Amino acid sequence: MDPGAPAAAREPRTVYYTASSLDGFLATPEHSLDWLLQLGDVPGGDYPEFIANVGAIAMGANTYRWLLDHELFRPGREPRPWPYQQPSWVFTSRQTREVPGADVRFVSGDVAPVHREMLAAAAGKDVWIVGGGELAARFHDAGLLDELNVTFAPATLGAGTPLFPRALAYPRLQLIGAREYGGVFVQARYAVVRGV
């Protein structure tokens, strides 16, 4: 079955879909994404198709806080609405600000029971692990991560938040697709191989 096929034609996947520097970092040590945002809106990405097949979203506390500070509640500007229609689970052990009207659920602990809730809510669509890498790794450790879909940007950071803070070598990941777009980005999709 084609992993890029519409959700109705295949089993739902749990996908870590993210952007990374060439040297494998999501953000600087100060949690900045300026290195990525400076590249602007490059045409040719597959985000509209990807998000159309997503039925539930998971993110960690740092990703959620970044969204609040840089997208929703920017100083001196009108608040923006929550960017996702899908129900979202935020894995955090801290009390944090809520977004009025958004379907955001705060959870902590084991990812497996939350993943079951997410699959039920997704109703046959995919589960998107927005970030960060540590949360994606927890899903992998529980045997629940199906795919890494990483868009590499033309930058190196030298340090920061790692793309994936675990060894994923035995068994290796299986390349299921790669492409460049906009003369800027390279997107690579890898299936998580199990049972070998």
Q: What is the pLDDT of residue 116?
A: 98
CATH number of domain containing 131 = 3.40.430.10
Q: Are 31 and 161 in contact (CB under 8 A)?
A: yes
Q: Confirm whether 33 is domain-assigned.
A: no
Q: Are 1 and 10 in contact (CB under 8 A)?
A: yes
Number of separate domains in the chain: 1
Q: Confirm whether 141 is domain-assigned.
A: yes
Question: How far is Cα of residue 26 from the mean position of the Cα atoms in its chain?
Answer: 11
Q: Confirm whether 32 is domain-assigned.
A: no
**pTM score of the predicted model:** 0.91
Mean pLDDT value across residues 63-87: 90
State how far the Cα of 128 lies from the Cα of 170, in Å rounded to an integer. Answer: 24
Q: Confirm whether 176 is domain-assigned.
A: yes
Q: Confirm whether 172 is domain-assigned.
A: yes
Q: Confirm whether 50 is domain-assigned.
A: yes
Mean pLDDT value across residues 148-175: 94
Domain housing 69: 12-25+44-191
Q: What is the pLDDT of residue 6?
A: 55
Q: Confirm whether 196 is domain-assigned.
A: no
Q: Confirm whether 36 is domain-assigned.
A: no
